[in-house]
Amino acid sequence: MANLQIGGIDCRDLAAVSGTPLLVYDESKIEQQLAAAIQGFQSEHFETEVVYAAKAFSCKAIFRKIQEAGAGLDVVSGGELYCAKEAGVDMKRIYFHGNNKSDEEISMALELGCGTIVLDNRMECRRLCQLAEEHKKNIQVLLRVNPGVEAHTHEYIRTSGADSKFGISIEKKEEIRQLLQPALDSKYVEFKGFHSHIGSQITETEGFSAALEIMIRFIREMKDIYKIEAKHLSIGGGFGIKYTASDKPIPLGDMAGMLARICEERMAAEGIDLEKLLIEPGRSIVGEAGYALYTVGFGKDTDTKHFLFVDGGMSDNIRPALYQAEYSCDIATRLGEKKDRTYCIAGKNCESGDILIKEAELPSSAAEGDLLVIYAAGAYGYSMASNYNRAGRPEVVFAKDGKARRVLRRETYQDQLRLEADEQLTI
């Protein structure tokens, strides 16, 4: 029987030092995905930029790695922006997204010298122009529009429909002109172009191809009708990864190259020139590089199921409960053993829906004390982790070439109480 190796280190050694639940990233895989995206996303006709979507997984260590690779950073909150600042990220390479940025967040972005704010709606555009005037700070902006392309994903992660909470419909051209007018009139705000995003965990090119065709035609129409010239276009992210055997994603570098070629073709067809095209991969950079290690606890057989309970659950990975997301797994120290039983992998949180994998094929010898690994756990697990049931967030380790480093320590009970207070308020 073989033991799982991550970054050249036996999983048992990682668990012995750091405990479980434990999230381990193969650092080389992150670097390979970043390099593939950057190398694939090239054009002789316009500048390109790969922008990492921080919401997939954020900490100072990953932000520094993004900067070292020469990629930009997409943040969606003041917290992510602050983390980027503390990590020493070049603020000019940051794109600040979100549908309801607070005055505090916008002011923070302006004062820190954030490169670009992605506008979501009319109220935000007006507010940004006012705050830029007050702070006497220059800022570039993109406007998020919805091309109306429905990606084949879970309804909660579709982002481009007519009723999406994000952006403005591409059909509302006059409203878009009115929305942008304060920015076009401002001496501090510089309009650069448009942004779109059609969904997440997309494993085919058809949706992106359709969105690009629609967006480039739209850019030409806005120029022809309203004299509003867009030189930058972001086509978002959402590139899928392999969670289970049924997933057949296109390799990220190949996908990036295809999108650049499609954009070149559509630009030629519409007779427009772009200065810059952007993509925003997040999951596809870190997802498959992440391994979640758990210790198997008790087991239980019901009339129809064989349960294996692990020492984590929805508090460190809510995606199965929230999106019905599917994963694959193994007993990490029994990789060569025959898989002859179907288990339900359940967490320890006090919820019936705390199921990590409904049907997992594992050896029937799986037992208390075994290490269970869930693959492709690097995106949206730690980012969406909580203290539900007063569970602590897991430790996070980067492993590479037989060496490991802790990048996020395990959250203790004391850590959870650090915000407790009993203070009289003066009202």
Q: What is the pLDDT of residue 154?
A: 41
Domain count for the chain, please give it. Answer: 2
Q: What is the pLDDT of residue 152?
A: 56
Same domain, 120 and 262: yes
Cis? peptide before 251, omega within 30° of 0: no
Same domain, 245 and 165: yes
pLDDT at 31 over 80: yes
Same domain, 50 and 119: yes
Q: What is the pLDDT of residue 162?
A: 62
Same domain, 141 and 202: yes
Q: Is 329 a catalytic residue?
A: no
CATH number at residue 316: 2.40.37.10
Asked whether residue 324 is domain-assigned, the answer is yes
Question: What average pLDDT does the segment 346-350 reach?
Answer: 98
Same domain, 32 and 130: yes
Question: What average pLDDT does the segment 164-174 reach?
Answer: 92
From 11, 125, 329, 350, the catalytic residue: 350
Question: What average pLDDT does the segment 253-276 reach?
Answer: 96
> Is residue 157 very low, low, confident or very high in pLDDT (cuts 50, 70, 90)?
very low
In this predicted model, what pLDDT tens digit does every residue of 188-230 receive, in sequence order? 999 999 999 998 888 888 888 899 999 999 999 999 999 999 9
Interacting residues of 32 by C-beta distance below 8 A, sequence separation 6+? none
Same domain, 314 and 260: no
Interacting residues of 379 by C-beta distance below 8 A, sequence separation 6+? 56, 57, 241, 282, 283, 286, 287, 290
Same domain, 154 and 279: yes
Q: What is the pLDDT of residue 202?
A: 87
Q: What is the pLDDT of residue 155?
A: 45
Whole domain around residue 61: which residue ranges?
27-283
CA dist., res. 268 & res. 10, Å (int): 52
Using DSSP bridges, classify how beta strands 72-75 and 22-26 pair: parallel, antiparallel or unpaired.
unpaired
CA dist., res. 374 & res. 332, Å (int): 9
Q: What is the pLDDT of residue 186?
A: 98
Q: What is the pLDDT of residue 204?
A: 84
The percent of residues in the chain predicted with pLDDT above 90, rounded, is: 92
CA dist., res. 265 & res. 215, Å (int): 13
Same domain, 317 and 188: no
CATH number at residue 217: 3.20.20.10
In this predicted model, what pLDDT tens digit does every residue of 236-258 receive, in sequence order? 999 999 999 999 999 999 999 99
In this predicted model, what pLDDT tens digit does every residue of 65-96 receive, in sequence order? 999 999 999 999 999 999 999 999 999 999 99
Same domain, 216 and 346: no
Amino acid of residue 373:
V
Three-state DSSP class for residue 261: helix
Burial of 19 (C-beta count, 10 Å sphere; 0-12/13-18/19+)? middle
Same domain, 326 and 219: no
Asked whether residue 310 is domain-assigned, the answer is yes
> Is residue 158 very low, low, confident or very high in pLDDT (cuts 50, 70, 90)?
very low
Average pLDDT across the chain, whole number = 95
Question: What average pLDDT does the segment 141-170 reach?
Answer: 73
> Is residue 148 very low, low, confident or very high in pLDDT (cuts 50, 70, 90)?
confident
pLDDT at 159 over 70: no
Its pTM stands at 0.95
Question: What average pLDDT does the segment 276-303 reach?
Answer: 97
Give the end of a domain, one of 260, 283, 306.
283
How crowded is the C-beta side of 103, counted as CA atoms within 13 Å? 6
Give the DSSP per-residue string, 123-190: HHHHHHHHHHHHHT--EEEEEEEE-----SS-GGG---STT-SSSEETT-HHHHHHHHHHHHH-SSEE
In this predicted model, what pLDDT tens digit does every residue of 301-333 receive, in sequence order? 999 999 999 999 999 999 999 999 999 999 999
Same domain, 81 and 128: yes
Contact 57, 78 (CB under 8 A): no
The percent of residues in the chain predicted with pLDDT above 70, rounded, is: 96
CA dist., res. 420 & res. 417, Å (int): 5
Burial of 368 (C-beta count, 10 Å sphere; 0-12/13-18/19+)? exposed
DSSP 380: S
Asked whether residue 385 is domain-assigned, the answer is no
Question: What average pLDDT does the segment 21-28 reach?
Answer: 98
Beta pairing partners, 191: 141
pLDDT at 387 over 80: yes
Q: What is the pLDDT of residue 27?
A: 98
